[in-house]
Structure 1
Amino acid sequence: MSFFLRGKGKKTEQNGIKRKKLPVQDEERGGKGKRRRQAKLDEEIESDEEIDSDEAVGAKNGVSSDEEDVETAQEVKLRKAKEYLAKLKEEEEQKEEVDDVTHDSISHRLQQDDLAQSGKLHKLVSDQYTCPDPASIRALRGHQLPVTCAVVSPDSKTAFSASKDGSIIKWCLQSDKKLHIIPGGRKGTEKTHLGHTGCVLCMAITSDGKFLATGDANKLIHIWDPASFRKIKTFTGHRQEVSGLAFRKNSHQLFSAGFDRLVKVWDLDEMTFVENLFGHEGSITAIDSLIRERAVTVGRDRLVFIFKVPEETAVKFVKHIHSDCVALINESNFITGGEENTLCLWSVMKKKPVFTFKNAHTGSVEGKTTSPMGENWITAVASLQFTDLIASAGSKDGFVRLWKCSSDFRTLTPLFAIPLPGFVNSLQFSPNGDFLVAAVGQEHRLGRWWRLKQAKNAVYVIPLPKKTPTAETLPG
C-alpha cells in the first residue's frame, strides 16, 4: 500500500493525477547483435516478493503517529492476523459441520494460502475430469445480441453476463432463471440511462463478491453492487473502448485495459483513479491479475506485458503473435491464445513461451471434422487457478477444449473437446471447479468479421463431471 502514499498529491491535466511511465525491461533494447539478443531472450527475470512496510500498513488502517491512544502498526498486524485465523477457523467449521476444529486443518489452510501467495501452489486435478454429455450443457438465453462476457460469483451460485446490446443479466445457476436485468440504452442517453448504451466488452467481479465491474465501447466503466444491482460509480478516463477488466484477488483494486494502449489502476475502496501504466504500442485486448499487485496484458501489438505496480516497472516479453486472451495459472505462469490458432504457455522467469501448441483448434474430434488451418484463432482461455486444468475456445471452431498443464509447466496435453457452436467470447471456471461458463454469440465480441446464423446468443453452463473411483483407486 506504500504505492498509494507515493502517488498522493501529484496532479496533472487528466483525472487530477500525474501519469507515471513505467521503465520497460526490453529484450530488444541496445541493438548489440542477434546472438546477444537471443541469449537475452532465454535469460531469467529476477523474481521478487511484495513487502508492505509498517508505515503502509498503519496508513491503510488509519493509524497516525500524531494520534495518542491508537494502535501501533505492529498491533494492527497482530489484530489482522487474529482476525484472519478466526475467519479460517469459521470456514473450516462450516466445511466440516462440526464444532471442534483441529489445528492441523487450520495449519493446512495456512500452508495452502502461503503457497498461493508465493505462486507455488499447484494442484493436480485434471485427470479427475471426464468429458460431459452434450445433453447436460445448459443454455441461458436472454440477450438479444451476442454475449461478450460472463463471470461466476465466488459462491458459484450466480453468474453475470453482458452483451453487445448493452444489457447485463444476473442468473441463478440452480434454477437457470434471471434474477435481475439491466437493459441496454439508446446511444446518446448516457446521462439518463442506468446501464450501458453501447456494447459491453468485458466484466469482472471481486473475490468477495462485493463489486462487479463492466466496461463498454463507449469508454465507460460501471461499478455495481452484485446483490442489489445498484450502480455505485461510473469511471471515465479511457479514450477508446474498454477491452479488459481484472480485479486483484482478495482486494478491491481494479485494473482496466483499453484500445487506447493504457492500463489504468483504480481503488474501489475509495472509488478513485490511481494511475496509468504505459508500455503497449497498440490496442490491448485482454488483462488478468491474481494476488500480487501486478497485471499481465496482451494486445494487437504482438506484445505481452507484466506490470509490477509497487516496483513501478514493466516487463516486456518477446514479440510473438496477435493475442486476444490471457489467463494466469498462478503467480509464476500464464497462458495466452492468439490469431495464429496457437496456445502459448509462459513463465514470468522467461521472455519467450516455454511451450507452444500450434493449430490447437484444428483437426478432427470424435470423428467430426473441425475448421481447417487458418480458419480459427484462440478467442478465449481460462484456468482453474492454482491447478493444472486449462480451457480454450477457438473462434468458430465449434469446440471448447480442455488441457492438462504438466507439473513443471513445460507442456500442454489435450484432455477432451466439448462441442459448442458459435463464437466463444469468454470462458470462466467456477471457483469450485464443478462447471465452466461460456459466453457465446453469433459474432466475435470485438468485430463482425463472420456471422454464424446457426449459433445462439446465450450463456452456456458446462458441467465438469469427475471420474468415478474404481476399486483399485479407493483407499484401503
Structure 2
Amino acid sequence: MKLKRFLLRYYPPGIILEYEKEGLLKTKSMDLLDLTPETNPDELLGEIRRSEPLVTESRADQVKQLILRLQQKQGQKDQPGFCFSKSLKAHMLPLTNVAFNKSGSRFITGSYDRTCRVWDTASGTDVHTLEGHRNVVYAIAFNNPYGDKIATGSFDKTCKLWCAETGKCFHTFCGHRAEIVCLAFNPQSTLVATGSMDATARLWDVETGEEAATLTGHTAEILSLCFNTVGNQLVTGSFDHTVAIWDVASGRRVHILTGHRGEISNVQFNWDCSLIVTGSMDKTCKLWEAVSGKCVATLVGHTEEVLDVCFDLRGQLIATASADGTAKVFSSTTHQCLVTLQGHDGEISKICFSPQGSRILTAGSDKTARLWDVQSGVCLQVLEGHSDEIFSCVFNYEGDTVITGSKDNTCRIWY
C-alpha cells in the first residue's frame, strides 16, 4: 500500500487517507469524533501512528498539522443568528423537501407541481428545472459528497437520476407499485435506495440504471430509510411499527427491530455505524445496537407523536421533534433528556443539528423555523416570513446558511 494524500473532514472531525493498493486508488477514514480544542495533539498523533501503518514517521508532522487545523476549526464560534437573504417563488404548488449539495453552492427543491428545481445559493437563480415526473416529487437528494447527481422520488412510482450540471435525466427507475416517499444515495454513490408505500425498498445501480435488489419483508408503507456511513447496511422504518436492517451486498434482512407500538416516522444511523435511532407515532424514540439489533434505550417524555429524530454528526446527541410542539435533546450514552426546546405554537415536523453540533434548527406548523442553543435550550432566533407551515429546513455543510421550504410555494435563504 502506498499513501497518496490526506483529505481533511471538518464535520465530524476526521482525516481521510487516499492510498494505492494493487493499482487501485482507495480511501479509508480516521474518525476523530472525540477531538476537542483541549486534546493534546502529540498524544493523539501517537495513537494514530500506533493504529495506522500508513502514517509513517515522514508523514507525522503533516498529520499533526491537520489535527491542529481541525482544532482551530472547532475553536471558531458559531454565528449567533441568520439574516434573511431572499425569498424564492420556487414552485407553482407547495414544496415537499429541500437539500444542499456538499459545498452549499447549490440546493434543490421538490414540489407537488411534479418538478424538482436546482438553485444557485448565492444568487437565488433557478439553474435547472427537472421535469418528467407525472406526480408529486416528494423525495430528493444530491449524491454528496460528490454533488454531480440528483435523485428524485415521486408519487408516480418512479425514481429518476439526473445530472446536476446539465439537468439531463440519466435513468428512470421503474418497479415500485406505489408512491416513492424516501430515498438515499449510498456513500460511494454507486446505489440509490428507494422506499415506497408498496411496503418494499429497492436498490438501483447508478451506473447501469438496473435494479440491484428488492428488499421485502415489511407489511406496510416504508416511510424512512438510511445507509450507514460505510455503505454496507441500510435501515428502513415502516408503518408496520417495525424497523429492518439490511445487508446491502446480498439484499438480505439482517435484523428486524420490534418494540414500537406505532408507525415509524424516521430512522438514522449514527456516524460510526454502531447505533440506530428511531422515532415513532407511539410518542417515543428508541435506540438500537446496529450489530445485534438489540434495543438499548427507549427515550420518553413527548406527549404526542415523534415526527422526526436525528443524531448530531458525532453521534453523541439525539434530537427529537414532536406533534406536542416541543423538541428534546437526549444523550446517546446516558439516554437522559438534557434539554427541552419550547416555543413553537403547533407541531414540529423537522429537526436537524448544525454541522458543529452546537445549534438545532426546527420547522413547524406555526409558519416559523427556530434556531436553538443545544446546551441551554434557549431559542436564539425565530425565522419568520413564510405564510404557511414549513415542511423542510436544512443547514449547509459549513453551518452558515439555512434554507426553509414551505407549503406557501416558496423557500427562503438565510445567511
Q: Does 1:260 align with 2:240?
A: yes
The match for 1:235 among 215, 223, 226 is: 215
Partner of 1:133: 86
Going from structure 1 to structure 2, the CA distance change for 1:165 and 1:382 (only over 3 Å counts) comes to farther
- Report if aligned partners of 1:201, 1:243 keep a CA contact under 8 Å in 2: yes
- Report if aligned partners of 2:79, 2:400 keep a CA contact under 8 Å in 1: no
1:201-246 per-position Cα deviation (integer Å, ceiling 9, x unaligned): 2222233333321101100101123455443211111111111111
What do you get for the CA RMSD once the two structures are aligned? Answer: 3.7
Partner of 1:295: 276
1:34-56 per-position Cα deviation (integer Å, ceiling 9, x unaligned): xxxxxxxxxxxxxxxxxxxxxxx
AA matched with 2:86: D
- Report if aligned partners of 1:157, 1:174 keep a CA contact under 8 Å in 2: yes
AA matched with 2:317: N
The match for 1:390 among 360, 364, 367 is: 360
CA distance in 2: counterparts of 1:171 and 1:405, whole angstroms:
37
- Report if aligned partners of 1:150, 1:428 keep a CA contact under 8 Å in 2: no
SS of alignment partner, residue 224 of structure 1: strand
- Report if aligned partners of 2:226, 2:234 keep a CA contact under 8 Å in 1: yes
CA distance in 2: counterparts of 1:212 and 1:428, whole angstroms:
21
Deviation at 1:158, TM superposition (A): 4.0
CA distance in 1: counterparts of 2:232 and 2:388, whole angstroms:
34
- Report if aligned partners of 2:263, 2:281 keep a CA contact under 8 Å in 1: yes
Going from structure 1 to structure 2, the CA distance change for 1:412 and 1:172 (only over 3 Å counts) comes to farther
- Report if aligned partners of 1:151, 1:428 keep a CA contact under 8 Å in 2: no
Of Structure 1 and Structure 2, the greater helix share is in 1
The match for 1:81 among 44, 48, 52 is: 52
Give aligned-pair identity as a percent: 19
- Report if aligned partners of 1:166, 1:196 keep a CA contact under 8 Å in 2: yes
Partner of 1:377: 347
The match for 1:271 among 245, 251, 259 is: 251
Partner of 1:414: 380
Deviation at 1:257, TM superposition (A): 0.8
Going from structure 1 to structure 2, the CA distance change for 1:79 and 1:258 (only over 3 Å counts) comes to farther
Give the total of aligned pairs. Answer: 323
Going from structure 1 to structure 2, the CA distance change for 1:123 and 1:260 (only over 3 Å counts) comes to farther
SS of alignment partner, residue 64 of structure 2: helix
Partner of 2:118: none
1:430-473 per-position Cα deviation (integer Å, ceiling 9, x unaligned): 44547556676x6xxxxxxxxxxxx44x9x6x6553xxxxxxxx
Range moving further from structure 2, 333-342 or 411-420: 411-420
CA distance in 2: counterparts of 1:344 and 1:127, whole angstroms:
21
SS of alignment partner, residue 222 of structure 1: strand
Partner of 2:306: 323
- Report if aligned partners of 1:335, 1:346 keep a CA contact under 8 Å in 2: yes
TM superposition score normalised by structure 1: 0.58
Going from structure 1 to structure 2, the CA distance change for 1:128 and 1:398 (only over 3 Å counts) comes to closer
SS of alignment partner, residue 244 of structure 2: strand
Deviation at 1:345, TM superposition (A): 2.0
Deviation at 1:171, TM superposition (A): 5.0
The match for 2:285 among 304, 325, 335 is: 304
Going from structure 1 to structure 2, the CA distance change for 1:463 and 1:160 (only over 3 Å counts) comes to farther
The match for 1:334 among 305, 318, 322 is: 318
Deviation at 1:420, TM superposition (A): 4.9
Going from structure 1 to structure 2, the CA distance change for 1:126 and 1:219 (only over 3 Å counts) comes to farther
The match for 1:166 among 154, 157, 168 is: 157
AA matched with 2:362: S
CA distance in 2: counterparts of 1:202 and 1:326, whole angstroms:
15
AA matched with 2:324: E
Going from structure 1 to structure 2, the CA distance change for 1:266 and 1:109 (only over 3 Å counts) comes to farther
TM superposition score normalised by structure 2: 0.65
SS of alignment partner, residue 209 of structure 1: coil
CA distance in 1: counterparts of 2:159 and 2:189, whole angstroms:
16
Going from structure 1 to structure 2, the CA distance change for 1:229 and 1:81 (only over 3 Å counts) comes to farther
Partner of 1:104: 64
CA distance in 1: counterparts of 2:399 and 2:149, whole angstroms:
14
Going from structure 1 to structure 2, the CA distance change for 1:162 and 1:259 (only over 3 Å counts) comes to same
CA distance in 2: counterparts of 1:464 and 1:278, whole angstroms:
40
Going from structure 1 to structure 2, the CA distance change for 1:224 and 1:428 (only over 3 Å counts) comes to farther
Q: Which consecutive unaligned segments of at least 5 residues does structure 1 have?
A: 1-76, 90-100, 113-120, 184-193, 363-375, 443-454, 466-476
CA distance in 2: counterparts of 1:224 and 1:434, whole angstroms:
33
CA distance in 1: counterparts of 2:137 and 2:310, whole angstroms:
20
AA matched with 2:281: R
SS of alignment partner, residue 102 of structure 1: helix
Larger radius of gyration: 1
- Report if aligned partners of 1:327, 1:336 keep a CA contact under 8 Å in 2: yes
CA distance in 1: counterparts of 2:321 and 2:136, whole angstroms:
21
Of Structure 1 and Structure 2, the greater strand share is in 2
AA matched with 1:316: T
SS of alignment partner, residue 166 of structure 1: coil
Deviation at 1:181, TM superposition (A): 5.7
CA distance in 2: counterparts of 1:304 and 1:159, whole angstroms:
30
Deviation at 1:301, TM superposition (A): 0.7
AA matched with 1:150: I
Deviation at 1:354, TM superposition (A): 2.3
Q: Which consecutive unaligned segments of at least 5 residues does structure 2 have?
A: 1-47, 89-122
